[in-house]
Amino acid sequence: MQTLLEQFSHYLTVEKGLARNTVDSYRRDLTIFFAFLEQQGIASPSKVNRNLITSYLLGLKEAGRASSTISRNVASIRSFFTFLVQEDLLEENPSQLVKAPRIEKKLPRVLTTKEVDRLLQQPRSDGQAGQRDKAMLELLYASGIRVTELVSLNLTDFSPEAGFLRCRGKGMKERIVPIGSVAVKCVCEYIGSSRQKMLKRREEKALFLNHHGRRLTRQGFWKILKKYVRQSQLNGEVTPHTLRHSFATHLIENGADLRSVQEMLGHSDISTPQIYTQITRRKIREVYDKTHPRA
């Protein structure tokens, strides 16, 4: 089973082009599932049937696992057996008719434009770190890119003349994202001043540097964001993804079409950004309920 898991992992990485974190997630789920099979005396995938998989999933539910966790396990198990069938290592897929639990989608936290302004005003641009932080926050909200994509940016990915950013999303897929004049100005000021002072090695390609002159990490950005969230006294949890959600919602509120938002966010499925239209509808409903005399 372990050999098959290695082959499956190689398939996900090389042929499907999935990100390392995604592959690791599949591996973790399947490793626990294999341990369950071993307890049942099952040593071969050909001995696995639908009832056995269902029994495993029920065990996860009884253990208090969230519906999202169980659903992810179903996806991992189903993908594994689909791979075995494709490779002619198995005749039938025992997980084909196994149903994943229904997940109730929670609408993401979205900041108002006033809250975004308050957050973006926090970094002091008269210091190296403050100028860098201002550029990062402005760029994150201006482009809607993920924090991983932000810290992965190289100097050559920023095109101020064209007003575009080249970033690498999940599976290292490249996309070009437009950015506004405010973000362009802040990033240019950072490059021309603070980045030059923070730079320790001329060959460093990273756009955003830490105080050691090396590429800033995701964890480093998290700490920076938390500091400014506290300073701006925003209620509730604010994550890097909150700015991404706010970016998309504000675009749709102002008339952007879903297809364009999908392209900018780097989603392969147009159904994913549709969640932001739900947020917009909810806000419209709240306004109606508060203002209409017969609501």
Q: Render each residue's pLDDT in the chain as its tens digit; 295 residues.
A: 889 999 999 999 888 888 888 899 999 999 999 999 999 999 888 999 989 999 999 999 889 888 888 899 999 999 999 999 999 998 889 988 888 776 556 666 789 999 999 999 999 888 899 999 999 999 999 988 989 999 999 999 999 998 888 988 776 778 888 888 999 999 999 999 999 999 999 899 999 999 999 999 999 999 999 999 999 999 888 888 888 888 888 887 877 777 777 778 876 544 444 555 554 555 545 544 665 454 4
Choice among 78, 166, 214, 267 that is catalytic? 267
Residue/partner pairs of 174-182 with CB below 8 Å, 24 or more apart: 175/263, 175/264, 175/266, 177/143, 177/144, 177/145, 177/264, 178/143, 178/264, 179/139, 179/142, 179/143, 180/142, 182/138, 182/142
Let me know if residue 92 belongs to a domain.
no
Q: Which residues of 87-106 are buried (b: 16+ CB within 10 A; e: fewer)?
A: eeebeebbbeebebbeeeee
Q: Is 56 a catalytic residue?
A: no
Catalytic residue from among 109, 118, 170, 175: 170
Q: Considering 72, 132, 134, 244, which one is annotated as catalytic? A: 244
Could you confirm whether 267 is annotated as catalytic? yes
Give the range of the structural domain holding residue 48, as residue numbers without chain letter. Answer: 2-86
DSSP code per residue over 226-268: HHHHHHHT-SS---HHHHHHHHHHHHHHTT--HHHHHHHHT-S
Is 276 marked active-site?
yes
- Residue 218 sits in the same domain as residue 117: yes
- Which listed residue (72, 132, 146, 195) is catalytic? 146
Residue 103 placed within a domain: no
Same domain? For 61 and 181 the reply is no
Same domain, yes or no: 141 and 8: no
The whole-model pTM stands at 0.59
Residues 50 and 133 grouped into a single domain: no
Considering the domain architecture, whether residues 25 and 147 belong to the same structural domain is answered as no
- If asked whether residues 207 and 274 sit together in one domain, one would say yes
- Residue 102 placed within a domain: no
